[in-house]
């Protein structure tokens, strides 16, 4: 089994991430060779990164940094699920990324963003730039889920993520195929 970790990057209350993750989880469950781990940054509750030295020069040895590094190192692949806040990624996601250096390097990854303006395209580009600097191997297919007001239920959350995002199912399969092909190319 190939382990994929879905990192949920939004930590705000009433976030859309929970419903988007529901769709992602459903799509991954269709592949019986994949084992999914959900890493919700709202539950990780990493403190703001304040180590005196960047991890490029000296890894943070605090207990939360060591636990976070162990979790990231243990996964085969990562799917970053990011909202778009002010044309970039959420601070909690950037903070989690900034804790580590070597654990990210060479890791195959994919990006799924969501937003009302352009499906989170600016957040995708921002995250691609950050991950590129860390030498994460981001697959070419990225998914930008376009949110619309008619998707929202009375409580303000996405009422039916399965039907709302059904138009992205093929793109999701392509992205997963690229993640697995990346793994095969590394193994040979």
Around Cβ 53, how many Cβ atoms within 10 Å?
A: 9
Per-residue confidence (pLDDT) for residue 183, from 0 to 100: 57
pLDDT value at 188 more than 50: no
Residue 156: band (very low, low, confident or very high) from pLDDT cuts 50, 70, 90? confident
In whole angstroms, give the CA distance from residue 141 to residue 156: 29
Residue 182: band (very low, low, confident or very high) from pLDDT cuts 50, 70, 90? low
- Model pLDDT for residues 83-141, shown as the tens digit of each residue: 999 999 999 999 999 999 999 999 999 999 999 999 999 999 999 999 999 999 999 99
CA 117 to chain centre: 19
In whole angstroms, give the CA distance from residue 121 to residue 38: 23
pLDDT value at 184 more than 70: no
- Please give the biggest Cα pair distance in the chain: 51
**21: closest CA among 43, 36, 1?**
36
Residue 157: band (very low, low, confident or very high) from pLDDT cuts 50, 70, 90? confident
pLDDT value at 66 more than 90: yes
Residues 46-52 have a mean pLDDT of 92
Residue 187: band (very low, low, confident or very high) from pLDDT cuts 50, 70, 90? very low
Per-residue confidence (pLDDT) for residue 3, from 0 to 100: 92
Asked whether 130 and 95 are in contact (CB, 8 A), the reply is no
Residue 8: band (very low, low, confident or very high) from pLDDT cuts 50, 70, 90? very high
In whole angstroms, give the CA distance from residue 80 to residue 102: 17
Percent of the chain with pLDDT over 90: 84
* Average pLDDT over all residues of the chain: 93
Asked whether 80 and 7 are in contact (CB, 8 A), the reply is yes
**89: closest CA among 134, 135, 127, 129?**
127
pLDDT value at 180 more than 80: yes
Contacts of 32-36 spanning 24+ positions with Cβ under 8 A: 33/1, 33/2, 33/180, 34/1, 34/2, 34/3, 34/4, 34/176, 35/1, 35/2, 35/3, 35/4, 36/3, 36/4, 36/5, 36/6
């Amino acid at each position: 089994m190939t382990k994929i970790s879905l990192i949920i990057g939004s930590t705000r209350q009433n976030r859309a991430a929970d419903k988007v993750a529901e769709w992602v989880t459903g799509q991954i469950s269709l592949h019986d060779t994949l084992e999914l781990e959900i890493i919700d940054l709202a539950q990780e509750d990493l403190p703001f990164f304040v180590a005196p030295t960047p991890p490029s020069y000296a890894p943070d040895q605090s207990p939360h940094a060591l636990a976070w590094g162990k979790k990231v190192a243990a996964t085969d692949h990562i799917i970053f699920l990011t909202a778009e806040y002010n044309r970039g990624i959420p601070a909690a996601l950037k903070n989690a990324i900034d804790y580590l250096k070597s654990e990210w390097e060479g890791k195959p990854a994919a990006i799924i963003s969501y937003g009302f303006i352009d499906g989170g395209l600016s957040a995708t580009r921002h995250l691609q730039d950050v991950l590129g600097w860390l030498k994460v191997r981001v697959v070419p297919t990225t998914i930008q889920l376009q949110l619309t007001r008619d998707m929202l239920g009375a409580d303000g959350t996405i009422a039916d993520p399965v039907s709302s995002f059904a138009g992205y199912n093929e793109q999701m399969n392509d992205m997963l195929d690229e993640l697995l092909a990346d793994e095969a190319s590394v193994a040979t």
